[in-house]
Structure 1
Amino acid sequence: MVVGQNGAHQQEESVYNLIPRVQVQAPKPPRYESKFKSTVRESFKDGKHEHRTMGYADEPVPDPQQFLKKKQNESKTMASSVAKETSSKRDSPQRKPPVPSIRDVPKMGTRTEKNFVQTNALDVVMTVPKKPERNVVDDRFGDKFPIDQSGLAPKYVFKKNFGEVPVYIKTRRDEMEKAKQEYQAYVSDYFRRGAMREMDDNERQTIIDGLKKQWEDVHHEYQTLSVIIDTIPKRQHKERLEHQMQLLEKDIDLLEKHQVIYIAD
């Protein structure tokens, strides 16, 4: 290819361009046909009628022996009309009574003994006046809302049972009192047998004081330990003192928490 000054492409002359070339067209592949073609066609035609919409291809000639007789189609026509009328009556809504005609004269001369003025006056006197709604205005534009349903007004404090102990708390209190009485009866039975005895206050206080004194001694020994614990015996001694103080604190807490303590002999 040679490009000229104006930018147009010019084809270079060649001997091979003078020989006409035969264009070879590739053969088309065979058309695909499914092997179920005949089966599908038969299943599609199955159950269909050829002359249902377009009529017969050849109109059949009526039989001369089966000629039309007198009043032969009246029974079919009457049956179809009765069925159509019945279905229309069933589907149509129930009709309202007709509008009275302009020539219909209403009943005249009927009078009543009721005194409407007196009845209205009694209704007004006996009517309970409507209570005004309790509303509250929350902005300068006058928008209001009912205060009773808003929760801003005290409502439950005016109930009859307000401030009283609930029933379930009374029931639970009675159950606890009953369980306590049963336990006291059980302990008294053991006292009679001599299997248990109750620790008096002086004995309990003496034990508490002794435990506290022992805790102070252990704590004093714990404070006298060296600051640097660099050997295994020192660490074991420190852990043993900490364990002793924890046990003493647990025993002191147990005795101070329970006022009544029973001892099994």
Structure 2
Amino acid sequence: MDPPCTSESIYNLIPNDLKEPPQPPRYTSVFRASIKDDLEKFKTAMKTMGPAKVELPSPKEFLKKHSKEKMLPPKKKFNKRLSKMPAVPLRTDHPVMGIQSGKNFINTNAADVIVGVAKKPKPIYVDRRTGDKHDLETSGLLPKYINKKDYGITPEYICKRNEDVKKAQEEYNNYIQENLKKAAMKRLSDEEREAVLQGLKKNWEEVHKEFQSLSVFIDSIPKKIRKQKLEEEMKQLEHDISIIEKHKVIYIANK
């Protein structure tokens, strides 16, 4: 038995051919056979490779001329007996002669004209100098509606609607009044609102008069501060006046 060779042995200078280990067997699913059977069972002809297997047409069933055109229904034979027109008289037929009526057409027509009412012309109107005529009945120029019995009378449904709106407004006002009383709010009357408005306008006139009395040259800091203060007061008064003039109903908190 040969002794084992170490790495320092001379026999290890030439490398040996490495032998690759054998590959493990390929994995195969257990359900391969059942899935293959299902695919073959439910596979359709259009899912296969190649052209579909269709029966070829017979050479005798070729496309003929005018075969795809719409065909008219067959013509019916004309029957003279069923026609509504009277038959053509024969050459040997003669009209009945010698029949006379006792009616005097001249006197009858004259009496009808004398007794009859003259036909009234259709009312029209002309709107251009070229003589374009239009029907007067549908033009809206005739006073038809003023001759009606209910002309100028408000319809009942509008009166009922106005009453409902008025009632709803009264209920809303009562609701607001109750809420304001609960919230300790007071509504200014028209006299009080007018008095407040006149007072604000009077204050604005006084401030404006004082603003007009300022010197032309504002060359010191106190003058500038005074001018700015008057401008702010005027702007605030103008804002208050515009609010009061815009809103007719004003509520204030009770003290």
TM bracket (short chain)? 0.3 to 0.5
Normalized against structure 2, the TM-score is what?
0.43
TM-score by length of 1: 0.42
